[in-house]
């Protein structure tokens, strides 16, 4: 049964993106919002809007009962969770299913299996996909943790099984550090995810973060090629590309094939991403986790392949088979996305939720600006700082960087500090231009003052 009335249980730029995709499919849209988000762009764009509670996320966007009540009251037949918030919460997906509504994502069982990093590792191993050497399952207590670390070799990463958003992760170089950091990771995971269970894996030194976009209809899965997301701060992506020019063709084929194998092994439905670390020196890739939802950086893949990933995930979750075969998915050129956050990049990325005075959107061929801003809009201080994404597409990576520079120079977001200047500086950096970076590259670059030097000169 195709979806007819879609309830959007998220906010910000992704809510705008979902409203547009649903409308393109002729679906009636119902935007949920908190009391702080009455003025939000997707509230204006959607066919209907409904308040689900006060500003704090726990009372609104994380309030399962309030969301279900509002979805039922507005006659919705499906709920799109977006990213963040409840998007990877198996309990929420199950509650939606039990209320007789469609969850626009995989089944609650699949989220349980693939959203938990330990269970996902085991599923990957079973499907023949390489994982980072580490503990077989959860590890409890300093003794057990140390034993695994000694087996796989230092440095090691201590990770929260339920982790996300770069939280609950620590790197330990020695047994002493491990003993000190494991309790910290556990406490952080308990506070952030309500689950303090940990596991340990070898820390790969200076890897690339490469991920594969997949789509599945529960029966068949296809990949839409890979993304390169190594430019990270605090293990959060800030700049993403499609494709990853560091891969040779056989490695790319093997990586993408492994993602399809794993997605099919778990009968995956919807849009999902398999994240890997890639060791350039040995050309080895290791699965690290699966994100069972649409991702922030999905537009670079859309620019590369011409596929509307959000529309396709809505279609397949409504029961339709995938609308394309693997052979029909082609890549062309190169795409780059940069995250525009309302933060001060010159002052330790301090959140800066201002009121927008002037907004000039970058446009032109191959330029896309996904955002939820408008002149006069006051950015609410209660939520994630991501306010937009500038995405460019061009024939080559070099041309894409040039186009990005033009777009960022053209863009004006007056009234708030934002991370546009960071991206202009990155675009001008010779190492970024040459594509020579890894996941541990950006933080030392920032610490060395590369940004403020450029900012002062500008």
Alpha-carbon distances of 50 from 4, 57, 93, 442, rounded to whole Å: 17, 15, 20, 41
Q: How far apart are CA 278 and CA 113, in angstroms?
A: 24
**Residue pointed to by tokens 């991403």:** 273
Q: In the complex, which residue's CB is closest to ligand ADP?
A: 84
- When CB distances are held under 5 to 8 angstroms depending on the partner's kind, the choice from Mg ion, ligand ADP, none that residue 297 binds is ligand ADP
Can you point out the beta strands (E) in 114-207?
156-160, 169-172, 198-202
Nearer to ligand ADP, 152 or 412 (CB): 152
Q: Cβ of residue 160: shortest distance to ligand ADP, in angstroms?
A: 8
| Structure tokens given for 76 | 């919705």
Q: How far apart are CA 305 and CA 450, in angstroms?
A: 34
Q: How far apart are CA 387 and CA 341, in angstroms?
A: 5
Q: Cβ of residue 295: shortest distance to Mg ion, in angstroms?
A: 9
- When CB distances are held under 5 to 8 angstroms depending on the partner's kind, the choice from Mg ion, ligand ADP, none that residue 439 binds is ligand ADP
Nearer to ligand ADP, 5 or 33 (CB): 33
Nearer to Mg ion, 43 or 309 (CB): 309
Nearer to Mg ion, 163 or 415 (CB): 163
DSSP letter for 40, please: -
- When CB distances are held under 5 to 8 angstroms depending on the partner's kind, the choice from Mg ion, ligand ADP, none that residue 89 binds is none
433 is catalytic: no
Q: Cβ of residue 162: shortest distance to Mg ion, in angstroms?
A: 12
The residues that bridge with 291 in the sheet, in sequence order, are 273
Nearer to Mg ion, 418 or 438 (CB): 438
Q: Cβ of residue 291: shortest distance to Mg ion, in angstroms?
A: 6
CA 368 to chain centroid: 18
Give the list of residues 6+ apart from residue 371 with CB closer than 8 angstroms, or none: 13, 16, 340, 361, 387, 388, 389
Q: Cβ of residue 366: shortest distance to Mg ion, in angstroms?
A: 28
Nearer to ligand ADP, 96 or 229 (CB): 229
- When CB distances are held under 5 to 8 angstroms depending on the partner's kind, the choice from Mg ion, ligand ADP, none that residue 139 binds is none
- When CB distances are held under 5 to 8 angstroms depending on the partner's kind, the choice from Mg ion, ligand ADP, none that residue 77 binds is none
| Structure tokens given for 453 | 């030097």
Count of other CB atoms within 10 angstroms of residue 71 = 25
Interaction site with ligand ADP (CB under 6 A): 83-85, 132, 157, 163-166, 169, 201, 203-204, 207, 209, 232, 235-237, 275, 277, 288-289, 291, 295-297, 384, 386, 439
Interaction site with Mg ion (CB under 5 A): 275
- When CB distances are held under 5 to 8 angstroms depending on the partner's kind, the choice from Mg ion, ligand ADP, none that residue 138 binds is none
Of 11, 202, 293, 368, catalytic: 293
Biggest CA-to-CA distance, the chain? 59
| Structure tokens given for 323 | 């609308």
| Structure tokens given for 148 | 């695994």
**Residue pointed to by tokens 């006060």:** 54
Nearer to ligand ADP, 29 or 292 (CB): 292
Alpha-carbon distances of 296 from 16, 114, 263, rounded to whole Å: 13, 19, 20
Q: Is 80 left (phi over 0), alpha (psi -120 to 50) or beta?
A: beta
Q: Cβ of residue 58: shortest distance to ligand ADP, in angstroms?
A: 11
Q: Cβ of residue 386: shortest distance to ligand ADP, in angstroms?
A: 5
DSSP letter for 416, please: S
Q: In the complex, which residue's CB is closest to Mg ion?
A: 275
Give the list of residues 6+ apart from residue 277 with CB closer than 8 angstroms, or none: 132, 204, 207, 208, 209, 210, 285, 286, 288, 439
Residues identified as active-site: 293
């Amino acid at each position: 049964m195709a979806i007819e009335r879609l309830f959007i249980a998220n906010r910000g730029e992704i809510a705008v993106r979902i409203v547009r995709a649903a409308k393109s499919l002729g679906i009636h849209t119902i935007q949920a919002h908190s009391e702080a988000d009455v003025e939000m762009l997707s509230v204006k764009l959607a066919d209907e809007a409904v308040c689900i509670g006060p500003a704090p996320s726990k009372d609104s966007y994380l309030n399962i009962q309030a969301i279900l009540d509002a979805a039922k009251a507005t006659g919705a037949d499906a709920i799109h969770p977006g990213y963040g918030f409840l998007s990877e919460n198996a309990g929420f997906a199950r509650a939606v299913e039990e209320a007789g509504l469609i969850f626009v994502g995989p089944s609650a069982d699949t989220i349980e299996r693939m959203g938990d990093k330990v269970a996902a590792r085991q599923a990957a191993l079973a499907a023949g996909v390489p994982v980072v050497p580490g503990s077989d399952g959860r590890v409890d207590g300093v003794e057990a943790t140390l034993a695994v670390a000694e087996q796989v070799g230092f440095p090691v990463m201590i990770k929260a099984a339920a982790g996300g958003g770069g939280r609950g992760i620590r790197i330990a170089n020695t047994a002493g550090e491990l003993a000190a950091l494991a309790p910290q990771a556990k406490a952080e995971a308990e506070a952030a995810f309500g689950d303090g269970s940990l596991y340990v894996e070898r820390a790969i030194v200076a890897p690339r973060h490469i991920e594969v976009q997949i789509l599945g209809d529960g029966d068949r899965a296809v990949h839409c090629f890979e993304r390169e997301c190594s430019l990270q701060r605090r293990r959060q992506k800030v700049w993403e590309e499609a494709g990853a020019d560091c891969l040779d063709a056989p490695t790319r084929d093997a990586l993408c094939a492994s993602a399809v194998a794993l997605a099919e092994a778990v009968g995956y439905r919807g849009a999902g991403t398999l994240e890997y670390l890639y060791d350039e020196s040995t050309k080895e890739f290791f699965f690290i986790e699966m994100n069972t939802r649409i991702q922030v950086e999905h537009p670079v893949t859309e620019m590369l392949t011409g596929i509307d990933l959000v529309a396709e995930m809505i279609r397949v979750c409504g029961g339709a088979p995938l609308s394309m075969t693997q052979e029909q998915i082609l890549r062309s050129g190169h795409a780059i996305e940069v995250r525009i956050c309302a933060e001060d990049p010159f002052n330790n990325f301090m959140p800066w939720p201002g009121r927008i005075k002037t907004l000039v959107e970058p446009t032109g061929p191959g330029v896309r600006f996904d955002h939820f801003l408008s002149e006069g809009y006051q950015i609410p201080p209660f939520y994630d700082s991501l306010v937009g994404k500038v995405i460019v597409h061009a024939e080559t990576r070099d041309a894409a960087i040039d186009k990005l520079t033009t777009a960022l120079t053209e863009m004006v977001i007056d009234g708030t500090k934002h991370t546009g200047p960071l991206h202009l500086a990155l675009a001008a950096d010779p190492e970024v231009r040459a594509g020579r970076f890894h996941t541990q590259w950006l933080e030392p670059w920032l610490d060395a003052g590369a940004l403020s030097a450029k900012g002062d000169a500008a």
